Structures are given as structure tokens and as C-alpha cells.
């Protein structure tokens, strides 16, 4: 089975729990292929359509491993067409109920098993994280949340 790790938006303005970012940084070395998404305000429809102010600081708060595929995005999903080469993508990052959720749903629609590593995800607060996990459990299956 071909598996990759996807690290979603572990950026200064998103990270509420720095210890999760530190754990993600260590975790990436367990995978041969790592994708790292970075949300950018530039050109984002979220700013205009949701009247959201965006991230004050878009800087990653960890160092991606040398061969990681790092890319920017302007919306919720971190899905890339090249991910179709994988059977399973393990998901970490921020926010569980938004970007993690949307990405997991996109992976399913492209016939890729999303596995959400719940101890390596978080949201603006514990309640949002727990709600995100509950909705993910319903939509991607309890066995795909580890």
C-alpha cells in the first residue's frame, strides 16, 4: 500500500497548541513522502466571501523535511491531483473541522483513503476539534480516525 503524510496549515496564525506542531515535525520523518500545505491570504476567496481577515502570519512553525512537497493554497482543501498516486494519505494539521475535514472528503471523492491522525490535529479550541472529529467519524468512518 502506497501511503503519504499530509501536513495542513501548521502556520503561526493557526497554531494554538505548539506541542502538536512539534510532534508533527517529528512524525514527518516516519514517512517517505510528505506534503505540506500552507494557506495564503493572497487571492483567497475566504477573505472576500466570508469577511474573514485571514492569517496575520502565514509562516510555517516547523521545518519540513528536505524532500517534502510544500505548496500554497487559498481555500480549505489541501488535495493535489498528484495525490491520486497513493492508496492512503495520513492527515495532520489545523483546523480539524475546516481544512482537515474538507481535505479528507476530497480524498475520498478521488478514491484515496484519508486517515486522520487525531492527536496530530487541532482547531481554534478543543470543542471545535471534537466536533470536527465527530463529523469526520460519520463521513469517513471511525476506522479512518487513528
- Per residue in 89-109, pLDDT (tens digit) is 999 999 999 999 999 999 999
pLDDT bin (cut points 50, 70, 90) of residue 26 is very high
Q: Are the C-beta atoms of 96 and 14 separated by less than 8 Å?
A: no
User: Mapping DSSP to helix (H, G, I), strand (E, B) and coil, where does residue 101 land?
Assistant: helix
Q: Which of 29, 114, 40 is nearest to 73 (CA)?
A: 40
**Which of the two residues, 144 and 41, has the higher pLDDT score?**
144
Dihedral sign from CA coordinates of 95, 101, 106, 111:
positive
Instruction: Calculate the dihedral angle through the C-alpha atoms of 141, 21, 81, 89, rounding to the nearest 10 degrees.
Output: -40
- Residue 13's pLDDT is 86
- Residue 14's pLDDT is 84
User: What span, in angstroms and rounded, lies between the C-alpha atoms of 26 and 29?
Assistant: 6
- Residue 18's pLDDT is 86
User: What span, in angstroms and rounded, lies between the C-alpha atoms of 70 and 125?
Assistant: 26
pLDDT bin (cut points 50, 70, 90) of residue 15 is confident
The total number of structural domains that make up the chain: 1
Check which CATH number belongs to the domain holding 23 and give it: 3.40.50.850
Q: Are the C-beta atoms of 41 and 73 separated by less than 8 Å?
A: no
Task: Give per-residue pLDDT as tens, 28-84.
Answer: 999 999 999 999 988 899 888 988 888 888 999 999 999 999 999 999 999 999 999
Range of the domain at 10: 3-144
- In DSSP terms, which residues pair with 36 in a beta bridge? 7, 70
User: What span, in angstroms and rounded, lies between the C-alpha atoms of 112 and 61?
Assistant: 28
Query: Is 9's pLDDT higher than 90?
Result: yes
Query: Is 114's pLDDT higher than 90?
Result: yes
Amino acid at each position: 500500500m502506497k501511503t503519504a503524510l499530509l501536513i495542513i496549515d501548521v502556520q503561526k496564525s493557526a497554531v494554538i497548541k505548539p506541542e502538536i506542531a512539534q510532534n508533527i515535525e517529528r512524525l514527518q520523518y516516519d514517512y517517505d513522502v510528505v506534503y505540506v500545505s500552507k494557506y495564503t491570504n493572497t487571492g483567497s476567496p475566504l477573505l472576500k466571501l466570508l469577511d474573514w481577515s485571514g492569517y496575520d502570519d502565514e509562516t510555517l512553525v516547523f521545518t519540513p523535511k528536505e524532500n517534502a512537497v510544500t505548496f500554497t493554497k487559498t481555500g480549505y482543501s489541501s488535495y493535489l491531483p498528484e495525490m491520486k498516486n497513493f492508496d492512503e494519505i495520513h492527515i495532520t494539521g489545523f483546523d480539524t473541522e475546516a481544512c482537515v475535514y474538507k481535505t479528507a472528503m476530497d480524498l475520498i471523492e478521488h478514491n484515496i483513503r484519508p486517515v486522520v491522525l487525531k492527536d496530530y490535529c487541532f482547531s481554534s479550541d478543543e470543542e471545535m476539534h471534537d466536533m470536527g472529529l465527530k463529523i469526520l467519524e460519520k463521513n469517513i468512518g471511525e476506522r479512518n480516525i487513528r
